[in-house]
A and B are shown apart, each in its own frame.
Chain A
Amino acid sequence: NAGVTQTPKFQVLKTGQSMTLQCAQDMNHEYMSWYRQDPGMGLRLIHYSVGAGITDQGEVPNGYNVSRSTTEDFPLRLLSAAPSQTSVYFCASSVRGGKSDTQYFGPGTRLTVL
């Protein structure tokens, strides 16, 4: 199993540009989520999904959209990038999203918005 994969690893955008961060998992996990990591702030939840066709907002959803058309994929879309979205983005998955479930993280995407 490849686990959780993310592409690209690095990305530089100009303010106002759009892009999609890709996330895929091959563990047949129902629960997937997106976090952003900023220095001194830990990880903050952006959006999550408890299964195909079901998504919900996390702590910091503004400026981001998600969809979940398949169990495997959970892309994160930035519609109009802003410098405040410069961060490292992590995708994670777990079996069912149960409260005791372990989350497995991808390697991250480092995004810079100029």
Chain B
Amino acid sequence: AQSVAQPEDQVNVAEGNPLTVKCTYSVSGNPYLFWYVQYPNRGLQFLLKYITGDNLVKGSYGFEAEFNKSQTSFHLKKPSALVSDSALYFCAVRDKDSGYSTLTFGKGTMLLVSP
């Protein structure tokens, strides 16, 4: 079975400060990892994904994520937060090596950036 944990329901950060949204995963094989963002009353938008190669993945809107295989983590980061980054963030995983191919989402982390 595959699973994703987002240990923080909410992350608060001041504008201009760095932000981190945490994600850990569990798969039996190697993972494909994704981050999505959901703005209020909108659908999910793709931010970035890790498939293979460089552990640091760069995505949309200045976000990046670091894949750490030993810690089974894929934390989302941004060097300088904007108020407009306030949204709900979802981490998702697929097991690259198993027959189970559907995408499993975490419960989401609300990011609130204060002016």
Contact = CB atoms under 8 A, between A and B. Distances in A.
The answer to whether A and B interact is yes
B44 A105 contact: yes
A1 interface: no
Contacts of A99: 32, 94-96, 101
Given A90-B43, A107-B43, A100 B107 contact: no
B20 to A, nearest CB: 19
Interface residues of A, number: 24
A102 B102 CA distance: 12
Interface string B35-52: 010000111111001010
Given A42-B90, A42-B107, A45-B103, 6 more contacts: A40-B107, A43-B90, A44-B105, A99-B94, A100-B49, A105-B36
25 contacts: A4-B43, A35-B105, A40-B9, A40-B107, A41-B107, A42-B4, A42-B105, A42-B106, A43-B44, A45-B102, A45-B103, A58-B102, A90-B44, A99-B32, A99-B95, A100-B32, A100-B49, A100-B51, A102-B46, A103-B103, A105-B36, A105-B44, A105-B45, A108-B42, A108-B43
